Copies of this chain bind each other. A is one copy, B any other.
């Protein structure tokens, strides 16, 4: 045991605070673009996958297929994606970016890059790498814990 419990608690509190503020910051960015968090997440995943049936989106997002129907409904209404027929499977639709959607995702990606640079760009190299190593440690612990139960 090298870290005192109170210090560990302080660190966790700070981490949670960072989380809260970061979420808030990103949420505001989404909102300016007419996006909700869930719809943004869907766009983001869609950018990775390319045009996809809703089932694939559901899996990638970790939510039910029914929920994806609703999210895509919203994205269609607001003009970010369209539902195209799946060539070769008439049951499925291919969720596909509109120009606006593709454009928006591109800006989101840039925005995230900018944020990363804002957060870490000025940080001394040594501190930065220690920070990243610390986060790797934390990630490992969490993943081990979640695996257990």
CA distance A14 to B19 in the complex (A): 12
Q: Could you say which residues of chain B place their CB within 8 Å of the CB of A10?
A: 132
A8 touches B125 (CB 8 A): no
Q: Given A24-B146, A139-B18, A145-B25, do A121 and B8 touch, yes or no (CB 8 Å)?
A: yes
CA distance A115 to B115 in the complex (A): 28
B119 touches A12 (CB 8 A): yes
Closest to A115 in B: B12
A1 touches B133 (CB 8 A): no
Closest to A22 in B: B142
Task: Indicate whether A134 reaches chain B with its CB closer than 8 angstroms.
Answer: yes
- In A98-126, the 8 Å CB interface with B consists of 112-113, 115-126
Q: 1/0 per residue A57-90: CB within 8 Å of B?
A: 0000000000000000000000000000000000
| Interface hub of A1, A128, A136 (most chain B Cβ within 10 A) | A128
**Distance to closest chain B CB from A80 (angstroms):** 21
Starting from the known contacts A2-B122, A2-B123, A8-B116, 11 additional A-B residue pairs (CB-CB under 8 Å) come to A1-B122, A2-B121, A5-B113, A7-B132, A10-B132, A14-B136, A25-B146, A123-B137, A130-B130, A131-B131, A131-B134
